[in-house]
Structure 1
Amino acid sequence: MISAQRIALSLALAGSAFAASIQAPNIVLPASAAANRAAVLDIFTESYAAYTKFAFGHDDLNPLSETFVDDRNGWGATIVDAMDTMHIMGLETLFLQAVNFSSTIDFSKSQTPDTVSVFETTIRYLGGLLSAYEQSNFQFPILLQKAKEVGDKLVFAWVGSNDIPFGEIVFATNTPQIATSNIAEAGTLTLEMETLTKYTGNQTYANFALKAVEHIANLPAPLPGLAAQGIDPTSGEFVGGYVTWGGGSDSYFEYLIKHARLSNTNNNLFADTWHTAVDSSIKVLKRTSTVGNHVYLADFDENTILHIGSHLACYNGGNWIMGGKMLNNQTIVDIALELVDACWNTYAGDATGIGPEAFAYISSDGNFTGGDPITPEQLAFYNKHGYYITSSDYIQRPEVLESNFYAFRATGDTKYLDRAASAVRSFNTFLKTPGGFACLNDVNNVTAPLLDAGESFWYAEVLKYLYLTFDDPNHISLDDFVFNTEAHPFIAPPAKAVYGSPNSILTPTGSFQLKQGPPLPAISPNAKLPTPIPVPPLQL
């Protein structure tokens, strides 16, 4: 039991300000911010105009061929994902058009393909509908009604008494599919489901999501607090022992601390597990490159360090800033800012000024990646930049700019504005086509062909984070909102003074002995919802 003295001490350490105050006070935007914000708005409106012309009602635009693809079940993913960004940017006509469209979506079955991703549907559709409902000051209850329709389908992912949901569902028959999942898919449902519970009064949605996270957090982990990536919904056990802050695990760790903030729960399991994961990462995964002294978080597999990173994993800097502020832990915040700098370096080092999908590095303990040996060309690039590219494409990922946004809001340092402005210039220079903004095949080759693809999170995440970086810091303040992993902001209650236990590093459940991978000698360096109010389709 936590003593009253320890609680009083924690409150005293927090000071007069809330420990969870994330934003720096009195941030002053330079005069240049307005022009950069307008440039982001232009990119959004140009992108969406191309989508409207060539792909409206479908999931994503293929900008080079000026066609469309329905890879998110044909429900108009771009429209729903972009909706709250439209409202934040003041694009009222587009927003009303999106509400009108959303009111007609038939979520009873998938249009294409047959199976529905529980994770992707939760973060894009459920998150987008609920955030737009909040952002528009609850004026359109049809958005909540549609969110409930999605949530009522998603709960079929939990079979019997299983804590872990299956990864896919056939909506037409409510049949779960795909037995093996991962902790990102299973553990990234809490913010959306608890927000649905908040507005429907039905605790069932939140309970399903919370029991999955609690189950994962309580399993014996390969490293303290750091759950393995794979998990079997049927057995509830981990599959393998791979540990990463990147794809397949990423948003499980992200949501541990975000759920604690959005819910203000008195259950310290979430904040404590996150804190333990960060502590383990600092002790075991943290690496510094031999060139440039850039700070990265390695992957870990069978007690072996893998010197790899990814664009997906680069959300970790922003997440650590948020959690470090909530725990009043400046050490975590300082390391987080180093992670932000290292990820930005992957943008600054490339010919296009845009970061790659995946990269690797060399640290004092070696250069083992578990993949192909480093080539002479990669080594030369590393010796100049402190990282080297292992997957050269850019598919409109937001994570580097997401963490850059958190860093600016937490510090007020204008270097983060300069970085965001550089990204805007690069997007206009290298992604813009007559049919919209495309993806890159090779971020380090300005003459390489573009990829004929677009993503709904271009609107939901990339352009929202860029816009807010240049916007009034009190607009969608990090002290008032919690972003889901698709950058849909949810209204947060006033912050608590203390998150997590006073001594929140959990006791390890086992021991491990770290070993290095084989060296590469050639380059080795030293309740029910009330009946909704009917809303007729909007006439625009």
Structure 2
Amino acid sequence: MGMHDEFENAVTAISQMSFADTSSPEINTHEINSHYLGGLLAAYDLSFNHRLLQKAIEVGDMLYAAFDTPNRMPIIHWDLHRAARQEEQIAEEAVSASELGSFILEFTRLSQITGDQKYHDAAQRVMAALERHQDSTKLAGMWPVVLNPRTEFFDGDFYTMGAEVDSLYKSLPTAYALLGGQNPMYRKMYEKFTRTAAGHSLFRPMSAGGKDVLVPGSVRVTMTENGKPRTHL
């Protein structure tokens, strides 16, 4: 856009910021990852300004500490003061699917730029857990809106393609492309999701002139007396 002076002023301001502490009792690591880390990495990829990369590493290292739990699942609503005091950290029992699966793109890109695999490995472990459970949810192929990362028990009954899970589904083909197609897991996960969504989540509404339009809806799954799932759109 030609706004080089404005960009330089912004980089200077960012380079003087400290992410080492906050007065807030907790931070949302999902939001910090997508907005702070994602923004810094995007700005670096456009400018190759190493001050931005240094800040991205600073934020990435801070978020990496949120994965220091017994099962390496990240804490989303994270008290970083407790982490700084080296107190025990345990993953939460209820977070949205988008929050849990939100780290793979930014962490992978940070690993690609720095050559340090620890960021990608941390996010990859989470995605591998999601893959393991993808076929065993109540609506096989999709994940419920709310997940339990502490127990890795993903047995919710509410499914959607919208808020609280959409960024997880969108990250699958993007991660596949970002990794150059070298990890087929992400393509398989996305294909399973689209097949299930096409069969259960899409409906054809009444429209003027009978236009061929499909709309995504939310699905609640209940179990019948013989133990089989029944979907309600």
TM-score, length-scaled by structure 2: 0.86
Whole-angstrom CA distance in 2 between matches of 1:163 and 1:213:
12
The answer to whether the 8 A contact 1:169-1:177 is kept is no
- 1:496-511 → structure 2 map (5 Å cutoff): none
The answer to whether the 8 A contact 2:141-2:196 is kept is yes
Question: Could you tell me which residue of structure 1 aligns to residue 30 of structure 2?
Answer: 119
Q: Residues 147 and 157 of structure 1: is their aligned pair in 2 closer, same or farther, counting only changes over 3 Å?
A: same
Choose the corresponding residue for 2:191, options 257, 271, 275.
Answer: 275
Whole-angstrom CA distance in 2 between matches of 1:115 and 1:214:
27
Q: Residues 172 and 222 of structure 1: is their aligned pair in 2 closer, same or farther, counting only changes over 3 Å?
A: same
The answer to whether the 8 A contact 1:153-1:174 is kept is no
The answer to whether residue 46 in structure 2 is matched with residue 130 in structure 1 is no
Q: Residues 181 and 260 of structure 1: is their aligned pair in 2 closer, same or farther, counting only changes over 3 Å?
A: same
The answer to whether residue 202 in structure 2 is matched with residue 286 in structure 1 is yes
Aligned-residue Cα RMSD (Å) equals: 2.2
The answer to whether the 8 A contact 1:168-1:177 is kept is no
Q: Structure 1, residues 368-399: CA drift from partner, whole Å, max 9, x if none?
A: xxxxxxxxxxxxxxxxxxxxxxxxxxxxxxxx
The answer to whether residue 231 in structure 2 is matched with residue 514 in structure 1 is yes
Choose the corresponding residue for 1:190, options 97, 101, 104.
Answer: 104
Provide the secondary structure at the position in 1 that maps to 2:142. Answer: coil
Whole-angstrom CA distance in 2 between matches of 1:515 and 1:169:
35
Name the aligned partner's letter for residue 30 of structure 2: F
Whole-angstrom CA distance in 2 between matches of 1:144 and 1:150:
10
Question: Could you tell me which residue of structure 2 aligns to residue 104 of structure 1?
Answer: 16
| Unpaired runs of at least 5, structure 2 | none
Deviation at 1:168, TM superposition (A): 2.1
The answer to whether the 8 A contact 1:181-1:230 is kept is yes
The answer to whether the 8 A contact 2:103-2:123 is kept is yes
The answer to whether residue 10 in structure 2 is matched with residue 91 in structure 1 is no
Whole-angstrom CA distance in 2 between matches of 1:223 and 1:201:
38
Whole-angstrom CA distance in 1 between matches of 2:219 and 2:79:
34
Question: Could you tell me which residue of structure 2 aligns to residue 227 of structure 1?
Answer: 143
The answer to whether the 8 A contact 1:167-1:185 is kept is yes
Q: Structure 1, residues 94-125: CA drift from partner, whole Å, max 9, x if none?
A: 211110111011110124x3311111000111
Deviation at 1:515, TM superposition (A): 4.5
Provide the secondary structure at the position in 1 that maps to 2:219. Answer: strand
Provide the secondary structure at the position in 2 that maps to 1:235. Answer: coil
Provide the secondary structure at the position in 2 that maps to 1:302. Answer: strand
Question: Could you tell me which residue of structure 2 aligns to residue 75 of structure 1?
Answer: none
Whole-angstrom CA distance in 2 between matches of 1:155 and 1:132:
21
The answer to whether residue 152 in structure 2 is matched with residue 152 in structure 1 is no
More helix by share: 2
Name the aligned partner's letter for residue 162 of structure 2: G
Whole-angstrom CA distance in 1 between matches of 2:146 and 2:68:
18
- 1:215-254 → structure 2 map (5 Å cutoff): 215-219=129-133, 220-238=136-154, 240-254=156-170
The answer to whether the 8 A contact 2:220-2:231 is kept is no
Name the aligned partner's letter for residue 160 of structure 1: T
Deviation at 1:214, TM superposition (A): 1.5
TM-score, length-scaled by structure 1: 0.39
Whole-angstrom CA distance in 1 between matches of 2:69 and 2:27:
19
Whole-angstrom CA distance in 1 between matches of 2:54 and 2:176:
26
Q: Structure 1, residues 54-94: CA drift from partner, whole Å, max 9, x if none?
A: xxxxxxxxxxxxxxxxxxxxxxxxxxxxxxxxxxx332222
Whole-angstrom CA distance in 2 between matches of 1:299 and 1:106:
41
Between structure 1 and structure 2, the one with the greater Rg is 1
Q: Residues 172 and 188 of structure 1: is their aligned pair in 2 closer, same or farther, counting only changes over 3 Å?
A: same
Whole-angstrom CA distance in 2 between matches of 1:190 and 1:129:
16
The answer to whether the 8 A contact 1:286-1:296 is kept is yes
Whole-angstrom CA distance in 2 between matches of 1:279 and 1:511:
19
Deviation at 1:160, TM superposition (A): 3.4
Q: Structure 1, residues 488-532: CA drift from partner, whole Å, max 9, x if none?
A: xxxxxxxxxxxxxxxxxxxxxx9633356xxxxxxxxxxxxxxxx
The answer to whether the 8 A contact 2:97-2:145 is kept is yes
Q: Structure 1, residues 452-504: CA drift from partner, whole Å, max 9, x if none?
A: xxxxxxxxxxxxxxxxxxxxxxxxxxxxxxxxxxxxxxxxxxxxxxxxxxxxx
Question: Could you tell me which residue of structure 1 aligns to residue 119 of structure 2?
Answer: 205
Provide the secondary structure at the position in 2 that maps to 1:247. Answer: coil
Q: Residues 178 and 114 of structure 1: is their aligned pair in 2 closer, same or farther, counting only changes over 3 Å?
A: farther
Q: Residues 515 and 234 of structure 1: is their aligned pair in 2 closer, same or farther, counting only changes over 3 Å?
A: closer
Q: Structure 1, residues 425-473: CA drift from partner, whole Å, max 9, x if none?
A: xxxxxxxxxxxxxxxxxxxxxxxxxxxxxxxxxxxxxxxxxxxxxxxxx
Whole-angstrom CA distance in 2 between matches of 1:147 and 1:97:
17
Q: Residues 206 and 511 of structure 1: is their aligned pair in 2 closer, same or farther, counting only changes over 3 Å?
A: farther
